Structure 1
Amino acid sequence: MFAPVVVGVDGSAESLAAAAWAAREAERRDRVLRLVHVWDWHPRHEEREIANAAQRHLARRSLRQAEERVRAECPELRLTDEQMEGPATAALVKAADEAELLVLGSRGLSGFTGFLVGSVALGVVAKATSPVVLVRADEVAADEHVPADDGSPSTETGYGDVVLAVDLDDACDEVIEFAFEAARLRHARLRAVHAWHLAGPVGLGPGDIGLARDSWQGEEWLGFLKAVLQVWRDKYPDVEVLETVVDDKPATALVRAATGASLLVVGHRLAERPVGPRTGPVTHAAIHHVGCPVAVVPHA
């Protein structure tokens, strides 16, 4: 049996937007959508019965609201729901491990301050062994598509680019394959971006200065990028691919490249550190500052 698309819901605006996005993705992938609500377990006997009853009531209401949103978006979608006991991060990581992908919401902030991603979502992204997609609170179906000719939002136009962040020092098949498949499902262009950045002139000795950014370096990186992606071009011949190499900081380049995209795909290396699992600086910047949905794909 195929793994489902799973979405965590709690009744918030961001979780409802995530449920709607997850419904569209489940429909694209021909998968069952599984709605999950996690509630906290209260171990103290005198509090347990009342608190747990309240939690179950909240769970039922959250699941019902999410189902109504999903049915409005995709009426024919196969749908299940489940209540799980917390802690929330551990429960959602477990749900992700059984899913094709897990979808969570993030709350948008005004201006250029990015998006508020809670500690639960960050913990799940850091630990999950399946892809996790973060969706902002005001995401709607038209945001995945290019605007109509008059500039207005539309769901009748084609999808925006799927943007793939490629680290040529650590290019991972899992991340690349996820991005190609996402582009195929959307009939969208895949834009693969690699950023390299060197810090200005380098001193060679007394009186000697050599420029670090030789003119050939960008072309060399572009050749490497095309070589890495060639096997995937052959596997996905219907996907149009645009390779882009930029001399910029990776986080800055990705935020810029993802403007108007339908999806940004980044990788995350699964590694336990002494202070616990963390996302790398580029992934961290992407999930906080990129406006489109961000898929974080784990790899070894």
Structure 2
Amino acid sequence: MTGPVVVGLDGSAASVTAAWWAASEAAERHLPVVLLHSWTTQPLDVPIAQEAHNKKRYGHDVLQRTAAELLHRHGDLALTTELVSDPAAQALLSHGENAAMLVLGSRGHGSVASFLLGSISLHVLGLAQCPAVAVRAGAPAVEAGWEHPAAADRDEVVVGVQELGPDAEPLLEFAFTAAELSGTRVCAVRALPVSALVTHPQAFAAQQADRDREAEERTRLAAVLIPWREKFPDVPVVEHVAMGSAAQVLLAASAHSRLTVIGRRRHPSRRTWKLGPVAHAALHHVPCPVAVVPHD
């Protein structure tokens, strides 16, 4: 993975928490950090006048204050700041063409927002050419790790594997790399839809079929993970296959994860973006950082 870790910073608690997480990831990966602030796209509750001069001064102060905090924590971190006039989403997507990852703040529980409107962050998450990570304000794995080396009860990276072919490779690469760097395990999650309800005497046969299908899918998932176990021999791996909707199974598996990784198909047009129901559920409800990784 090359390129910088680019953080969208607007001065909100969520964006500052995102910067903490980004700095730790960049330090572990030996990557530079870029703190990016769009002075034309600021939170509605910023208590400043609307003149351009004051907006720029606010942005400069936010960047310098956060940079000083990160450098105090990571003294050898290569860090730069950028105060831009381009709209936040446009600036981040432009950086995403050459970045290792983009990092955004998330208010969580009902809205995903980093800058002026939640739709801006969703737009970035849906169109970024590189992995984009949403970090919730007050994320326990992040804030505990800021004070201590790691959050003791956040000991795995969860990755949703709904595609078992080449589409899963970017997700698994991201998840295994993150787990290796943090010294945690990977939990590969796959959901299977429950058979439609049937009446007796067909119910027993349907339940048996579900159990057989679950065992079969667990075997298929284990086969997909073989080359990743070989590439990352020091990373423990567990397979989690469960009946239920993909969103429900992923949310349950992510209750105590330090990072959840999900996939998103690339879109041929930069004007068209879509995040599916699983991505929306994870971004709104998973308590840890959520990485959205594009794939073909």
TM-score, length-scaled by structure 1: 0.84
Q: Post-superposition shift, 1:123?
A: 0.4
Q: Is the 8 A contact 1:200 1:212 kept in 2?
A: no
Structure 1 residue 59: Cα displacement: 1.6
**Distance of 1:177 and 1:267 partners within structure 2:** 12
**Matches of residues 1-300 of structure 1 in structure 2 within 5 Å?**
2-40=2-40, 51-108=51-108, 113=109, 116-117=112-113, 118-139=118-139, 141=142, 143=144, 154-155=148-149, 160-168=155-163, 171-201=167-197, 211=206, 214=209, 215-272=211-268, 276-300=272-296
Q: Secondary structure at the match of 2:102?
A: strand
Q: C-alpha separation between the residues in 1 aligned to 2:96 and 2:269? A: 21
Report the CA distance shift for 1:277/1:157 in structure 2 as closer, same or farther (over 3 A).
closer
Q: Is the 8 A contact 1:143 1:262 kept in 2?
A: no
Distance in 1 between residues matched to 2:53 and 2:151, nearest whole Å: 46
Is the Cα–Cα contact under 8 Å of residues 19 and 69 in structure 1 kept in the other structure?
A: no
Q: RMSD value over aligned CA atoms?
A: 2.7
Give the aligned length: 279
Tell me the TM-score normalised to structure 2 length. Answer: 0.85
1:2 to 1:224, Cα distance in 2 relative to 1, 3 A: closer
Contact 2:144 2:150 in 1 (8 A): no
Quickly say closer, same or farther: Cα 1:156–1:38, change in 2 above 3 A. closer
Shift of 1:115: 5.0
Q: CA deviation at 1:133?
A: 0.7
* Pair member with larger Rg: 1
> Aligned-pair distance for 1:56?
1.7
- For the 8 Å contact 1:114–1:290, the answer to whether it is kept is no
Distance 1:254 1:86, change over 3 A: same
CA-CA distance at 1:265 after TM superposition: 0.5
Q: Matched residue of 1:220: which SS?
A: helix
Aligned letter for 1:290? V
Q: Secondary structure in 1 aligned to 2:82?
A: strand
Answer yes or no: is the 8 Å Cα contact 1:20–1:73 preserved in 2.
Answer: no
Per-residue CA deviations over 1:250-272 (Å, capped at 9, x if unaligned) read: 11111111111110000111125
The offset of 1:34, in angstroms, is 0.9
